Structure 1
Amino acid sequence: MSTVERLAKMIDHSILHPTMTDYDLEHECAVAAKYNVASVCVKPYAVKLAKQFLKDSEVLIGCVIGFPAGNSAISVKVFEAETACKDGAVEIDMVVNIGKVLQGDWDYIEQEIDLVTQACHKLGAIVKVIFETDYVVKKQDIIKLCQLCTKVGADYVKTSSGFGFVKGVDGRYSYMGATIENLKLMRESSGPCVKIKAAGGVRTLDGLLAVREAGCTRCGATATVAILEEAKIRFGDK
């Protein structure tokens, strides 16, 4: 496998913006197939369509749950995950209940991650747990989440949804997404069986290489074409 092919297999091609239509979904699935990325990450309603569009490719189908704010009841997240799996998703990216994390209700968070993970594993899917590190900013909270994900057997810990916008004092919204500092902390705080996914703000080849160096094996991206075309120029067939 060439360097470009290995980098492509790090990418979960995100097709999640609220304004995206089914026509956009079809186009972006074609992009994912062309570059043979690891997976697409789609909205729950779109799983069946994405499976149809990618039926002749090796690209896996991923789906977001409790997205993007993480506010759904646990039973709803479980049902949503089970529905996505039955529709054809084999990777589930679930947003934790952010408010419960911030108030330190760790029993609730452990139950939530555990029940969704169990449901997905029974149906043959893996689980990526989204922390939303633009909101969950304290190191001790990130460490605790990594420990709980390790305890219950989640497959990945993930930085962000891509939509965790923070309102500043000037009234404008900003977004940080994945940072190298947080990715290294997540790698250090998670068990060896838990993998790390970066999401949010990785838009260049250098950005993808940096998160790989920090310990990531997956990265959510919308700039897939730009990243991999740059990789072709830099690495060629290496």
Structure 2
Amino acid sequence: MPPRKEAMAGLEVANKPRRRSFKVEEFDPEKIKSEINPFAAKLPSVSKQDAPLVIDNDSGAEVAAPPKDLETVDDFSDEVGRLWGNAGRAFIETGRALNRAKEKLAHGDFMVLTSQRLPFSHNIADRLMAIARAVDEGIYPADALPPNYTVAYQLVSLYEHERPVALKEGLVTPAVTRRAIEEFKKRMRPHDEEADIRVRDKKRLASLIGQRARIDVEIAELKKRLGDDAA
């Protein structure tokens, strides 16, 4: 049937059928992904906030690119927390970040970082830094270290004259165990009581330094809070 016409103010207007209005809905990529392929729902989501991936020079694996221009305690706290949360040999990168922090931050700020703002203790921070230095100074290649930082530190803590022997005996390998390294140390130091005392004293010193740092930070905070009443 042709459209009905009506006279309106001397004009003929055709009554055109009304157009339907459609509400444009936002597309949900995750919903579309799960509806198209049930297996796709298992894929990791991509967020604009995710850090870009780069190839790690040590392991050859893809890792998140570190943020640039780390300057403050907050910057280094976030970066170290991110690296520590990753798997594999990220403890080397974590140690490097801590070494950069020590170079850039004031001493007091660095102690705040290692004593209050990290997901691990000050002693662990020292060990991670030592591992990173050993790799960066060419003492050990990163791919020769065990994938566990506690075992890697056992290798790093060998004395200089012990390292060639450890290498010759096949201890410098990712598969080495902590027990094997400890037995090697006992064999290399059977009567070295002075060395044992030094190791004990160094551990005690590191513990005391960590305690003093935490105390200094707490004292500074209390003085700031009390102001003139702190005297």
- The two structures have a TM-score, normalised by structure 2, of 0.27
Q: Which has the higher helix share?
A: 2
Query: Which has the higher Rg, Structure 1 or Structure 2?
Result: 2
Q: Which has the higher strand share?
A: 1
- The two structures have a TM-score, normalised by structure 1, of 0.27
